[in-house]
Chains A and B, each alone.
Chain A
Amino acid sequence: MANDLKTFQPKEYYRKFLEKDVRPDGRELGECRSTVVNIGSITTAEGSALVKLGNTTVICGIKAELANPKADEPKNGYIVPNVELSPMCSAQFRPGAPGEQAQVLSQFVVDVLQNSECVNLQDLCIVSGKLVWMLQCDMICLDYDGNVADACVLSLVSALKNTCLPKVTVNEETQAIETDDKITNNLKVQTTPVSTTFAIFDDHFVIVDPTIEEETLATGIITIVTKEKKLCMVHKPGGTPLKDSQIQLCIDRAIERSGQATKLIDETQCSLDR
């Protein structure tokens, strides 16, 4: 009976739950799914992290390459994030060139990195004007169950904290590049940006961390990225208009979530070092 209602009138089905302040999977409106973080599992990459937000899974791998800096920015390295949504994670994606959703997510992650100044690009400089590090960050979604943006950001930040770059010296006489794999430096990550996505349902319910069914039924979404109590990005691409008080509630919840996520990353990182 419940399944019939869910198939034919999904909005009604959800409405019945939301009126009682609960969601079909048992969560409260303001509760996030259980988050699991696994750091450093890819040994061939300089840094890696796997994040599971409920069923949504994103794995991030960071490879470091040497490159020439741009002519007008001789001391800046590059961080190139790239999100891949393959047919493996959901039937809605087709193989081939990145679709719109993948491009939008990649741009979102680029913006988060820029706005939060998470890694100082000058830390990636080896020889000013000639040699800099280029970090290729590939985020591959393994399971698309809603709220992939948050999982991508979390995995990227965890992977960056786990990144170790080998020491590189340029021989003055021969101009040859020498890499010393034994001496590694941890990448300095200045802040931990955490993103929280809320879905707006039926013009007045605001639920945090939507699953894929909630995302498709939602009438709008809002994503808030915070770094240690400061806001670094508020992104609401259209959708139902929100009142100021609702936005304020979202911001408060996002700040709480950011504390929770930062603690998770830090403690997991510590357990790895021990």
Chain B
Amino acid sequence: MSSSTDINPRRLVGITAERATNVSNAEFPGHYPGEDHSWDLQKFYENTTVRVTKLSNRSIEFDIIGVDASIANAFRRIMLAEVPTVAIERVYVFDNTSIIQDEVLAHRIGLVPLNVDPGIMDYRDPNDETLATDRNTIVFKVDLTCTRNPSVPKGSSEDPAVLYTNHEFLSSHLVWQPAGEQETVFAEVDKPGSTNPNIVLAKLRPGQSINMELHAVKGVGKDHAKFNPVATASYRLHPNIVLKGDIPPDRIEALKKCFAPGVVRVNSLTGKPYIDREAMRGDYVTREVLRHPDLADKVELSRIRDHFIFGVETEGAYKPEALLPEAIKVMRSKISTMKAAAEALLEVKRQEDVTMGES
């Protein structure tokens, strides 16, 4: 039978039928008599684990073990709202006779994920529109007219792709207009455009056309969700399931069904059930087992309070593995801004104390 003796009970958030118990960590100086919980970088470094578990071209899963929820949450919030990206902010419509209204189409175009590295762009001053330069604005043009395909005999097909040319306005129709030094800057990397060429932005029929100029700028997710660099960024706490006491052999099947597949296994020699630690990680902790009166007291459900399993998916310019470092970079720059401001305040305070001492 599996045991949780290796996990400090102080690290567990209990999960009972109607309540979560021991929700917050209380390891602060002065809380536990005789224990020192003051900040110690060395101790923190030794007790913290970061581990990547899965990586693809679009998503990453990693564990951060040994940090407080406020830290994990800060990284998650920064990934969502404060890591900059580039998105289309201004749409100048010269002609739009498609069925989609200008403002709706403009909104859809804004949401197109662009492949531009935000690191090479500056922020544009929102108070001064004349300040568009080659360093803060990327210009795209769209000029599409849908026409009938003359080579297709009448009535021979129902498919608009056969009948017409340009029957769809796709994200691949954005044509980059290089300006200034952009031609050389983007020479080594991919040409600016959508990361996904197949996003349908509008459908067209013969005679309808779209002619627009689009300006992409750098921004952050807290300003508009289109600047959000991640598709999702979330974390969950590592589940912890412990069996205690004997389970009658005829109830083992019922026990298995209370958890995700593979979590409860049976030892082939003893016939006793045990928890598969590997599979337990993926359990949903549904509390189904607590609905069975005969099984409820044989199982202890909990989650590990300081074991965060992050899942980050991306569709934009950043590689999934680059997002946490970017979030940390943003966090550190926030800290250094605040530190400079606080040190300036301290200096002012010292000056005041000196002048007051003299008078």
Q: Do A and B come from one complex?
A: no
Q: A: which residues have CB within 8 A of B?
A: none
Q: B: which residues have CB within 8 A of A?
A: none
